[in-house]
Chains A and B, each alone.
Chain A
Amino acid sequence: MTEAIHAEGLSKTYNGKVKAVENVAFTVNAGEAYGFLGPNGAGKTTTVAMLTAGLAPTAGSAVVDGIDVFANPNEIKRRIGIVFQESTADSDLTGRENLELAAALFSVPRKEVRGRIDSLLERMQIGEAADRLAKTYSGGMRRRLELAVGIIHAPRVLFLDEPTLGLDPQGRAGFWRYVEELRKEHGMTVFLTTHYLEEADGLCDRIAIIDHGHIVATGTPSELKDRLGGDVVTIKPTRTEPTLAALLQTIPGVTAVTLQDGAYRVKGTNGEQLVPALVETCTRANVGLASVSLKRPSLDEVFLEFTGREFREDDSVSATDRAVRIGQVQQAFGRARR
């Protein structure tokens, strides 16, 4: 199978101190949808910036569509499309003018420009607003315009950096439907970063979980879930009992027991059947229970398994936070100027 993206030992350290990405290596096959999943500050955007020739790496190499990214940045830019997490369309141009500009910058053959733009505007359901200034668009329309701008030149590889950030669930679903259609029709390779677990689960053929600049797991969504070894029952006792883990391990059907943040994560093939036995064992051991929860295998659980913490927002200000703030500023400016 042809490789669309190959990264080897990719690292980025900012100001010689902050290690954003460290020794990342992965391969994305042509036509594949590959997801980079991780919380804010994990290194997703930094990786995309390096793969799209927007950021020089501290170490490592990357080949995209057969071209060395760092040796031929201009050639890479011709072959790829990018949808950024923040809005980048020009508010003072109409939707159509934004697309005309992108077509010229990416050297779309002149004869094809009009047809491609009309087709994209219709497909993204912004045809009726095509001649309105982009600053009058809703958030969903702007995102769809961003996607249209990103694919006007029919790129071989499309990078989507948290493209649905700030959209409501309906808008997100619509956006991914367009991406999926494009992928099927054109065999486009899609590299996406997201911290919406269900998006990665639904769209990606394979996923890499990235945390603190390291890839901690890769595989198809089902492979990753299978690695959990079935359902997970989380028992939070009122007090810690050193022998409890060993006792729980003896229950038939339990495959693994781990203690994380004062709670026991019990893996088993059938969680529902395990719960009564687990409660009974705790009662017999004279351990009170604060809570018991059952979770089916999900990427949320996968993330917890491989990183040892819940999939949640970090406290630090990240690129995503900045993007949201910029979006708010843009909206405020847009309103003031209308």
Chain B
Amino acid sequence: MMRALVALTRREILRLTRNPQAIITSLMLPILYLILFGQAFNLQNLGGGRVPSAYFLEAFRGAPSYFSYFSAGMTGFVAVTATLFIGANVIFDRLFGVLKRTAASPASAASIFGSRLIAGSIQPIGLAFLVLGLSILLGKLGLAGLDITANVTVVGALEILLAIVILSAMFASLFLAVGFSIETPQTYFAAVNAINLPVLLTSAALYPWGTMPPWFQNIASFNPITLAVNVLRENLFAGATAYYPYGPGVYLLGLLAWALAMFTVAILLARRALAPKR
């Protein structure tokens, strides 16, 4: 089982790295948000700069600017845009016979599913840090940029890494569940579009926390992207912990619960899809 898992994971990673188009497409949306939306939607300019900074600190939960707050959200959003290709690959592997070949081998459904999940959980890490790096760079270029005001500790860095990995695992599971249940690329991408936007728009990735009505805050609190970006924001911005009811550990646990629930659904669907046809 382990040998098959390693070999299949290697295959998934090779495939992902050999398709630069997929990587570019994964980054396209978050980067467009950063360099267009993030630059134009500069809330500090409201009121001609006369709004007290304390108000913004409250609204952005300790982040020094809207862009800083927002770029942490986009770092989490990369987990969504990158992992959707993991599910799409299931569809194309089925269409081009690769899945049939793998299912005809003694490799277990768990290793076929697990390899895709591992690749899907690892691949967004690099992309997420690329988005973080670009956000910092934009600031150095005189544009609105990410300003990390906290001293990020080793534990903090690990928490950020863990948040990205668990969020990616959760979305990889979700898109694998869709990929193993749907047969045509058209239906898959339609389903993914129906998931992506509502998930993003009900999270705290885009909107300042302080501008959301309480009922929306309640919904956003349970959104997995919110849980992950909470971990990022608490670690990146000095004093941010004061604006959050819980520490990063609690959000990580919430995220883990999401990931486990999605994993359970996805592996059941994968097993069903890979079992001998009836």
CB pair A106 B106 closer than 8 Å = yes
CB pair B277 A329 closer than 8 Å = no
CB pair A88 B100 closer than 8 Å = yes
CB pair A49 B15 closer than 8 Å = no
CB pair A105 B97 closer than 8 Å = no
Most buried by B among A74, A104, A329, A333: A104
Closest residue of chain B to A92, judged by CB? B15
Contact string against A for B residues 238-278, beta-carbon threshold 8 Å, 1 for contact and 0 otherwise: 00000000000000000000000000000000000000111
Q: How far is it, in angstroms, between the C-alpha of A82 and the C-alpha of B108 when the chains are bound?
A: 17
Contact string against A for B residues 12-38, beta-carbon threshold 8 Å, 1 for contact and 0 otherwise: 001100110000000000000000000
CB pair A93 B11 closer than 8 Å = yes
CB pair B103 A74 closer than 8 Å = no
CB pair B8 A101 closer than 8 Å = yes
> Which stretch (A52-60, A164-172, A196-204, A307-315) binds chain B?
A52-60
CB pair B276 A54 closer than 8 Å = yes
CB pair B3 A329 closer than 8 Å = no
Asked whether any CB of chain B lies closer than 8 Å to the CB of A258, the reply is: no
Contact string against B for A residues 251-262, beta-carbon threshold 8 Å, 1 for contact and 0 otherwise: 000000000000
Closest residue of chain B to A79, judged by CB? B106
Asked whether any CB of chain B lies closer than 8 Å to the CB of A102, the reply is: yes
Closest residue of chain A to B102, judged by CB? A105
Contact string against A for B residues 215-233, beta-carbon threshold 8 Å, 1 for contact and 0 otherwise: 0000000000000000000
Interface residues of B, dominant DSSP: helix
For chain B residues 78-126, which have a beta carbon within 8 Å of chain A? Answer: 95-98, 100-108
Most buried by B among A100, A105, A326, A329: A105
For chain A residues 53-97, which have a beta carbon within 8 Å of chain B? Answer: 53-56, 73-74, 77-78, 82, 84, 86-93, 97
Give the bracket for the number of chain B residues in contact with chain A: 20 to 34
Q: State how many angstroms separate the Cβ of A209 from the closest Cβ of chain B.
A: 26
CB pair B101 A54 closer than 8 Å = no
Q: How far is it, in angstroms, between the C-alpha of A84 and the C-alpha of B100 when the chains are bound?
A: 9
Q: How far is it, in angstroms, between the C-alpha of A73 and the C-alpha of B276 when the chains are bound?
A: 9
CB pair A90 B15 closer than 8 Å = yes
Q: Which residues of A contact B138 (CB under 8 A)?
A: none
Q: State how many angstroms separate the Cβ of A323 from the closest Cβ of chain B.
A: 9
Closest residue of chain B to A159, judged by CB? B104
CB pair B95 A97 closer than 8 Å = no
Using known A-B contacts A88-B100, A105-B102, A105-B106, determine if residue A93 contacts B7 with beta carbons closer than 8 Å: no
Q: How far is it, in angstroms, between the C-alpha of A261 and the C-alpha of B135 when the chains are bound?
A: 78
Asked whether any CB of chain B lies closer than 8 Å to the CB of A330, the reply is: yes
Q: How far is it, in angstroms, between the C-alpha of A49 and the C-alpha of B104 when the chains are bound?
A: 10
CB pair B277 A101 closer than 8 Å = no
Asked whether any CB of chain A lies closer than 8 Å to the CB of B191, the reply is: no
Closest residue of chain B to A73, judged by CB? B276
Q: How far is it, in angstroms, between the C-alpha of A149 and the C-alpha of B106 when the chains are bound?
A: 14
CB pair B105 A90 closer than 8 Å = no
Using known A-B contacts A54-B103, A78-B106, A107-B106, determine if residue A101 contacts B97 with beta carbons closer than 8 Å: no
Q: Of B3, B14, B108, B278, which contacts A107 at CB under 8 A?
A: B3
Q: How far is it, in angstroms, between the C-alpha of A64 and the C-alpha of B64 when the chains are bound?
A: 69
CB pair A149 B96 closer than 8 Å = no
Closest residue of chain A to B104, judged by CB? A82
Using known A-B contacts A54-B276, A326-B96, A330-B96, determine if residue A77 contacts B105 with beta carbons closer than 8 Å: yes
Asked whether any CB of chain A lies closer than 8 Å to the CB of B136, the reply is: no
Q: How far is it, in angstroms, between the C-alpha of A183 and the C-alpha of B92 when the chains are bound?
A: 34
Contact string against A for B residues 39-82, beta-carbon threshold 8 Å, 1 for contact and 0 otherwise: 00000000000000000000000000000000000000000000
Q: How far is it, in angstroms, between the C-alpha of A74 and the C-alpha of B4 when the chains are bound?
A: 14
Using known A-B contacts A49-B277, A97-B11, A101-B7, determine if residue A54 contacts B97 with beta carbons closer than 8 Å: no
13 of the cross-chain contacts (CB-CB < 8 Å) are A54-B277, A82-B104, A84-B100, A87-B97, A88-B98, A89-B101, A90-B11, A92-B15, A101-B10, A101-B11, A104-B7, A105-B106, A106-B106
